[in-house]
Chains A and B, each alone.
Chain A
Amino acid sequence: MEHRVACCYLTHDHPEIIGETLKGALPSLSANGIDVFVYDDSADDATKAVIEDLIGNGYLDLHYVDAHKAVHGDHKMLLILQGYGLPEGYDYIWPVKDRIFFDGACIDRLRKAVDGGYDVIQIADESQRWDISVSVDKDEYTDIAEFYLKYVMIATDWEGTVRKRLTMLDPIDWERYEREYGIGIDCSFIQPMSLFARLAEVDSPRIKIVNYERDERTIVGSQGQSWRNVMYETWLDKWITYNFRLPAVYDPYKLEAIRSQTGLYELFGSPGMMMEYHDQGLFTMAVYEKYLRVWPMVTDIPQDVLCLIAEGRKKEAKERMLGDLENAFKEHDYMRVYRIRTTNFWLKEYMDDELYEALGVSCIIFRKQMLEKGACHIFDGASSLEEFRKRFRGLSDPAGSGSSQEER
């Protein structure tokens, strides 16, 4: 490999997890000449012992970095981006959280992208993309605003953003970035903010997307949900403010980019999830009212439905969404049909299996075609759920073999 990559794992008090992650990651990384550095600020020496054990077993491309000087997670990321603990000679820095690893052909593709000398390489799985209002029909970008619109959401994850030091990291004036973008403060979205702020300063940057298949990425253990306690502050206060502060080149796309993240199923995009939050005492009338003017900007859930959920009137909220689904068909607004079906798994309580599954299958096709081609005609012409059902029966049984439910 022409350029050297430092894959930098961030870990804290997860010795078993980082151990398992490294066992999965190291064979592919070593085979492709990618060195691994583990940044540890754990309370005890268990993680250090795991790393030393692996090094003792022959993984000589693995290195332990004492990161106890980090005061919080974002600070540890900042240290990595500044090159702390790295020997000379690494051209790319790739920070990764401790429970994720990529393997197989994905690492081969990453190595090829590194050989291409790109300024930024973003590892992404488009098939899992939630926001389908953009099409992702290419794997190279030179228009940074377009890249921001489509990938800022993915860059929030500390998983697959690989940056060239020479252009993307070493020239950064970190003190200025702290003043202007809040970088270095805890939960300040250090990765996407520093990435997009810097991209706006680089002449003609080249960005490469490396896609991975589902089985090429592994999550070790289960991710905690401790962030839920701070989800409003994080996503409705900080995320919006920090995006607003990014350079003007991104201005036309900021509202859509903000929503691409906040509208995620596990954040504020699903009435079903908001009902769960309500049951857990996380989404109350006080929260609803506090962010009254923010909801229309961050989610597609109608305001009145959110209010019903916050009040605990689940049944009425569900009936309202069912009515909205019928209306979406009536208005031929199939993007809305897609959103409602994919964010409301409770719909199966109100539909027979055949209709629920037919909608599900159609939405999978809809998502794929929208992302690839920017249009999909699978629902075209259907003006009601029943009309869609009849249509689907016909399409799934074009030869007329008599397998429709009525005929059965």
Chain B
Amino acid sequence: MGKPDTLEHIKKINEIRLRMEEYNAGLIEHFEFFLNDPSKDNIVKVYEFMQDPVASSSNNTYRHIRLIHRVAEIVVKELSIGYIPLTNGTHTCKEAIDRFRMTVFMLRRHEFMSEESDMELIADAESYVISQGISPVAIHDIIADDACFGDAARAVSYWMDVLDKAGKKTDALLLGRMI
């Protein structure tokens, strides 16, 4: 028979694991409900669910949960000031996560590509951000926290220009103020 404190610890770990799994299933359910009915009320429900004490452990343990948390954080901010959310048009967690990953990549694409033949790819990235209606809130948050820019201010400035040239002057101004 093991030491009582060791057995107690193993029991505790098992309980945490089960609670995390329960939390993960609940989060996915709430988030997919929001994706299919993207109202402010529904993202608030997701956000409230994310206040569960086990959320942080789950965030640190499961990569897909970390990504859902991250997307939800951005969406909450977008909806709070009336922007169409990053996840618009997605219906599953995988689709939403892929949209997020794609946006992160598109925001970086202009770096490292300088040859003539790359210009089309850069134009595609700019067109993606404009045509998908990626909000200045998402652009700012992703540049600041996800896209791993060495020089975030420079990147923000680049995207301000892109928004401005696309006629989205208010979005460009808002992005500039968020630096």
A377 touches B148 (CB 8 A): no
B60 touches A377 (CB 8 A): no
Check B72 for interface membership: any CB of A closer than 8 A: no
Interface residues of B (CB under 8 A from A): 1-3, 5-7, 9-10, 12-13, 16-17, 56-57, 60-64, 98, 101-102, 104-106, 108-109, 111-113, 117-118, 121, 124, 147-151, 154
For chain A, what secondary structure do more than half of its interface residues adopt (helix, strand, loop), or is it mixed?
Answer: helix
Q: Which single residue of chain A is at the shortest CB-CB distance from B56?
A: A332
Distance of A78 Cα from B57 Cα, bound (Å): 48
Distance of A373 Cα from B1 Cα, bound (Å): 29
Beyond A254-B105, A381-B16, list 9 extra A-B contacts (CB 8 Å): A180-B117, A237-B112, A241-B118, A255-B108, A255-B147, A255-B148, A294-B150, A380-B13, A381-B13
Chain A residues bordering chain B, tally (CB within 8 A): 41
Interface string of A298-311 (1 = CB under 8 A from B): 00000100000000
Distance of A375 Cα from B18 Cα, bound (Å): 12
For chain B, what secondary structure do more than half of its interface residues adopt (helix, strand, loop), or is it mixed?
Answer: helix
Interface residues of A (CB under 8 A from B): 133, 179-180, 237, 240-241, 244-245, 248, 251-256, 291-297, 303, 331-335, 374-377, 380-381, 391, 394-395, 397-400
A331 touches B5 (CB 8 A): no
A251 — which chain B residues lie within 8 A by C-beta?
102, 105-106
Contact partner, B63, options A133, A253, A291, A334, Cβ 8 Å: A133
A398 touches B2 (CB 8 A): yes
Q: Which single residue of chain B is at the shortest CB-CB distance from A393?
A: B6
B13 touches A244 (CB 8 A): no
Contact partner, B118, options A179, A245, A381, A391, Cβ 8 Å: A245
A377 touches B61 (CB 8 A): yes
List 24 A–B pairs whose Cβ atoms lie within 8 Å, in order of A's numbering.
A241-B113, A241-B118, A244-B112, A244-B113, A245-B113, A251-B102, A252-B102, A253-B101, A255-B101, A255-B148, A292-B150, A293-B151, A293-B154, A297-B147, A332-B60, A334-B60, A374-B62, A374-B63, A377-B16, A377-B17, A380-B13, A394-B9, A397-B3, A398-B2
Whole-angstrom distance between the Cβ of B129 and the nearest chain A Cβ: 13
B62 — which chain A residues lie within 8 A by C-beta?
374-375
A245 — which chain B residues lie within 8 A by C-beta?
113, 118, 121
